Amino acid sequence: MSKILVTGANGFVGKMLCKALKQANHDVIELQSIAGDITKAMTWENIPATEILIHLAAKTFVPDSWKDPALFMQTNAQGTLLALEYCKKHGARMVFISSYLYGNPEILPIPETAKIYTPNPYALSKKTAEDYCRFYADTFDVRSVIIRPFNLYGYGQSDNFLIPEIILQVLNGDKVQVKDLEPKRDYIYIDDFIDAIMRCIEIEKFEIFNIGSGESYSVAELIQMVQSICGTQLPVISSGEKRPAEIMNTIADISKAKELLHWSPSTSMFQGINAIIQQYKAAKS
């Protein structure tokens, strides 16, 4: 049993992670957004010492990062810098939740050693935070594990994300309307992601792990899967709009996580989407 601090504890991942940690008999301190600003040193000074910090707190919605790049850099980079200072002060290890940082990949599946690309302020803020983690590991022996999740999904995720957007259109509408049907992504279900984080707290040296499924699905395939589960045949309307510098496919190389964490995803895409749909239906009844 360890004493663990979780930032962003009231978020999509944080709520489920804290529950899992408590079930595993860890002593958990939950730092929620209402408890203080992670970009202020005073916030960290009031937190008791812990053995491990799982740093989830971040600004995450990419379109918003274009509206206020400074806010994303302040929260995601400066907040992580202060988190590392906390770890240095208390001798704690850190698990840092980063992001997909590979842009349009040169090879598939994508290993952790692939070239880093930061096409938006959000990605830049996460890359900067990773650089801080590596510097503190090399310079101050703050042992950090960096997790690069691919496309995370699960019940409770913001409706702004693709999978809940599709599901809610199928459940509540008379058509499914999206922009581009072609892009493919590697999706990782929330339960499998939580399992990966739990395994990372056992790692005591600097490491970077891709966490994904090792498979990819197009927008069209996701819509077809949702409709199959719901028993619908709603018309699908695509505007054909392509985002600038659109990434057409991502597949995570998860061999390192399999080897060092003894982890692999256990939830298929069909199982994950079906679970979300059933939870939406239960919430309405």
pLDDT, one tens digit for every residue, the chain (285 residues)? 899 999 999 999 999 999 999 999 999 999 988 778 999 999 999 899 999 999 999 998 888 999 999 999 999 999 999 999 999 999 999 999 999 999 999 999 999 999 999 989 999 999 999 999 999 999 999 999 999 999 999 999 999 899 999 999 999 999 999 999 999 999 999 999 999 999 999 999 999 999 999 999 999 999 999 999 999 999 999 998 887 778 999 999 999 999 999 999 999 999 999 999 999 999 987
| pLDDT at position 113 | 98
| pLDDT at position 35 | 79
| pLDDT at position 231 | 98
Domains of the chain, earliest start first: 3-284 (3.40.50.720)
| pLDDT at position 245 | 73
Question: What HEC string does the chain produce?
Answer: CCEEEEECCCCHHHHHHHHHHHHCCCEEEEECHHHCCCCCHHHHHCCCCCCEEEECCCCCCHHHHHHCHHHHHHHHHHHHHHHHHHHHHHCCEEEEECCCCCCCCCCCCECCCCCCCCCCHHHHHHHHHHHHHHHHHHHHCCCEEEEEECEEECCCCCCCCHHHHHHHHHHHCCCEEECCCCCEECEEEHHHHHHHHHHHCCCCCCEEEEECCCCCEEHHHHHHHHHHHHCCCCCEEECCCCCCCCCCCCCECCHHHHHHHCCCCCCCHHHHHHHHHHHHHHHHC
pTM for this predicted structure: 0.95
